[in-house]
Amino acid sequence: MLDHRSPQFQDFAYKVLSEVRSVFQTRTPVIMFPSSGTGGWEAALVNTLSPRDRVLFVGTGQFSLLWSRMATHLGLAVSVIKTDWRTGADPARIEECLRADVGHVIKAVCVVHNETSTGVRSWVDDIRDAIDAASHPALLLVDAVSSLAAMDYRHDDWRVDVTISGSQKGLMLPPGLSFNAVSEKALAASRSATLPRSYWSWKAMLEHNADGSFPFTPAISLIYGLAESITMLHEWGLDNVFARHQRHAEAVRRAVKAWGLQIWCRTPHYYSPGVTAICMPIGHNADDFRQFVRERFNISLGMGQGRLAGRAFRFGHIGYTNDATVLGALGAIEMALEAARVPHKAGGVDAALSYLAQGDCDSKVRATESLLATRRDGSGNLFAQASI
């Protein structure tokens, strides 16, 4: 490790702090804490809000539920627009709530962009439009923990006030770094907000970050990794990365449909490009199936969370994946469905394979995929790296 108080590290961190903005598509500061994504949630709330402030959540799944519980624990007044977890946030309902709030009691709208627990995405640009249509001054706080660097995300264009993210999803890093991208409006709010904060204080972070330093020990090794992730994402091109995720998501959905299984997300408009939750047929437990796949193939499928527990498993087609890894995991699932005698039709892998082989994949996406198979080592040489 470099000494984080050394000029070498500060120069390096200053550069990373400035370059990471491009991934959020913002020109305003991105703050990094040594923490998991949950810490990023807390930082966003305590820096912008005051005790008993009302905040509006859209209950799209387990992560919005956990985040809203945190808001309650912190002493905020929480309102929730409920959903059945099988669809994304409805901008019309947000607009309706904000129009009804004539006294502007609601201080923030909190939305999870990609509900990792359900494989349901929301559309942040439409939510921005809904807030504008209601002419409401509420802050917009967005959890982009599993959407950043996996699907199109535009902090500035969508005028998001705080974007929360973490290192372990689209950024392809181990867990341990959380992010708050903050707008000017959020910074202004932080100057008058009175929720107690110390570790999570943006003020101390921003003062130190001005010269690449940190008020306490940063996650040094993860910041090295982040520099590399940013380079990789830009080598591939963010748009190509997003297209790759869309394409792998579509391949997985085709397999699921060919098996005759159900995708948890009810509406294609809200299908997640990063993760697909797949319902188990009635009478079959998803966790038993996951255990079978893990023991037989050493492949870890995502568990069903909250109300999906035991009812669904999740396929992550996010980050450092390529056609072969996606097809490998689909092949394992199809074999396991057969071996565990889970009712299904054959042909899921074939459906995904034909799509990936001939599907609507332009040359840029293909180029991204071949770049995925190679990495540049420190001396600038290219070497092949097996993905599985």
Please give the residue ranges that form the binding site for ligand PLP (CB under 6 A): 36-38, 63, 112, 116, 143, 145-146, 166, 175
CB-wise, 39 or 212, nearer to ligand PLP?
A: 39
**If you compute the radius of gyration of the chain from its CA atoms, what whole number of angstroms results?**
21
Q: Closest separation between CB of residue 21 and ligand PLP, Å?
A: 21
Task: Tell me how far apart the 2 most distant CA atoms of the chain are, in Å.
Answer: 62
Instruction: Name the residue with tokens 């940063």.
Output: 218
Backbone angles phi, psi at 60, to 5 degrees: -95, -5
Q: Closest separation between CB of residue 37 and ligand PLP, Å?
A: 3
CB-wise, 146 or 246, nearer to ligand PLP?
A: 146
CB-wise, 168 or 213, nearer to ligand PLP?
A: 168
Q: Closest separation between CB of residue 41 and ligand PLP, Å?
A: 7
Stated length of the chain: 388
- What does the CA dihedral 205, 209, 213, 216 come to, rounded to 10 degrees? 10
Q: Closest separation between CB of residue 236 and ligand PLP, Å?
A: 22
Q: Closest separation between CB of residue 240 and ligand PLP, Å?
A: 23
User: Which residue has the CB atom at the shortest distance from ligand PLP?
Assistant: 37
Q: Closest separation between CB of residue 232 and ligand PLP, Å?
A: 21
The token pair at 194 is 């009175």
CB-wise, 36 or 201, nearer to ligand PLP?
A: 36
Which contacts qualify for 4-10: CB closer than 8 Å, 24 or more apart?
A: 4/213, 4/214, 4/217, 4/218, 4/220, 5/213, 9/212, 9/220, 10/211, 10/212, 10/213
Name residues whose C-beta falls within 8 Å of residue 156's C-beta, 6 or more positions apart in sequence: 25, 26, 27, 28, 183
Nearest Cα residue to 145 out of 118, 112, 172, 123? 112
CB-wise, 116 or 240, nearer to ligand PLP?
A: 116
CB-wise, 29 or 40, nearer to ligand PLP?
A: 40
CB-wise, 150 or 263, nearer to ligand PLP?
A: 150
The token pair at 108 is 């923030």
Q: Closest separation between CB of residue 65 and ligand PLP, Å?
A: 11
Q: Closest separation between CB of residue 175 and ligand PLP, Å?
A: 6
- For the chain, list the strands marked E by DSSP: 30-34, 54-59, 77-82, 106-112, 114-115, 120-121, 139-143, 162-166, 177-182, 262-263, 275-279, 312-316, 374-376, 382-384
CB-wise, 95 or 152, nearer to ligand PLP?
A: 152
